[in-house]
Amino acid sequence: MNTTRRGLKRKTLSLQAPAKVNLFLEILGRRPEGYHEVRTVLHAVAWRDRLHFRVRRSGIVLEGDGAELGRRNLIWKAARALQRKLKRSPGIEVRIEKRIPSAAGLGGGSSDAAATLRAMTRLHGIEEDPHWLAEVAASVGSDVPFFLEGGTALCTGRGQRVVPVVPGRPLDFVLVVPEAGLDTPAVYRAFKPSLTRRTKDATPFLRTWAEGEVRKLGRALFNRLEEPAFELAPELGQLKRRIAAMKPLGTLLSGSGSAFFALCADRSRALELADRLRRSGLRARAVRSERPGPSRG
């Protein structure tokens, strides 16, 4: 989809890239290539990086604050993956206003990558076939396809198979971000499969949400990666207890961590909890559910 009219092609575009939380994450097993088969509910939240794109004839240039600007940045990888797929080299320059903390399980890098794919297809007038764009996104990272649409989705496979979900009412959270991040591969490696344990289905969770039972939803939040993450970083287990002691409806590690989110009954309770957490020395921020769809910056 090219949003510009012929002959009036834009040279610049600004997009906002939201964070996500995993409201539910179960691991179903190990895949032959070493990744894990997951069943996860991803939900975009309103904490956003801002990306400013400018067309170049060729090459990839990244600039900005608070982000690694080299080839390890997922923005760079996304731009490169798109160039490879097209077998030509539409160039892009990206100024990054990084707001979402890295290595926190909040998907900031993946969201930036998805925004880059969207921006490049628009700015270069590339026909957007959703299938091949999702394929390019998946080659950049497991969570990148989700961010092409955002909103709420049940994701399976290694996370790249995305089925949009009609969400229940918008939710209010507090995100708590520890100083130290966690390394996603290390957390997955520390996961110990059990032959006797039954895997959890996401359907009861989604039903509770659809029924609007936010209190019950707090108790239904689930993340199989908490155990290995707490094993790697025991201070995170303590942090969870500290947040839980302030009585949100529920609190959970997001993805592979190290950030937690706490679910609150409404916005004023979220603001109050964020304030208390900050006064106890933690980095905390009240956020709401993001509205679906990519947003202009």
Catalytic residues: 20, 143
d(CA 178, CA 183): 13
Nearer to ligand C5P, 184 or 289 (CB): 184
* Shortest Å distance, C-beta 8 to ligand C5P: 37
Interaction residues for ligand C5P, span 37-66 (CB under 6 A): 38
- Part of the chain binding ligand C5P (CB under 6 A), chosen from 31-39, 64-72, 145-153, 208-216: 31-39
- Within a 10 A sphere around the Cβ of 63, how many other Cβ atoms? 11
Q: Are 115 and 17 in contact (CB under 8 A)?
A: yes
How many other CB atoms are there within 10 angstroms of residue 57's CB atom? Answer: 7
76 binds ligand C5P (CB under 6 A): no
Element (H, E) at 136: helix 130-140
Nearer to ligand C5P, 232 or 271 (CB): 232
Residues 6 or more apart whose CB falls under 8 angstroms from that of 5 comprise: none
Of 124, 158, 216, 242, the residue at the interface with ligand C5P (CB under 6 A) is 158
C-beta of 90 vs 109, nearer to ligand C5P: 109
| Joined tokens for residue 225 | 């990666």
- Distance in angstroms (rounded) separating the CA atoms of residues 38 and 28: 6
Q: Tokens 């940045």 label which residue?
A: 73
Q: Is 270 helix (H, G, I), strand (E, B) or coil?
A: helix
Q: Which of 10, 14, 35, 227 binds ligand C5P (CB under 6 A)?
A: 35
Judged by CB under 6 A, the residue of 66, 185, 204, 234 near ligand C5P is: 185
Near ligand C5P in 98-157, by CB under 6 A:
141-143
The three-point CA angle 290-161-226 to 5° equals 70
Is the alpha carbon torsion for 108, 235, 175, 155 positive or negative? positive
Our CB check for ligand C5P shows the closer of 89 and 139 to be 139
State which of residues 105, 159, 255, 257 lies at the interface with ligand C5P (CB under 6 A).
Answer: 159
Q: Which residues of the shown chain bind ligand C5P in the complex (CB under 6 A)?
A: 35-36, 38, 141-143, 158-159, 184-185, 188
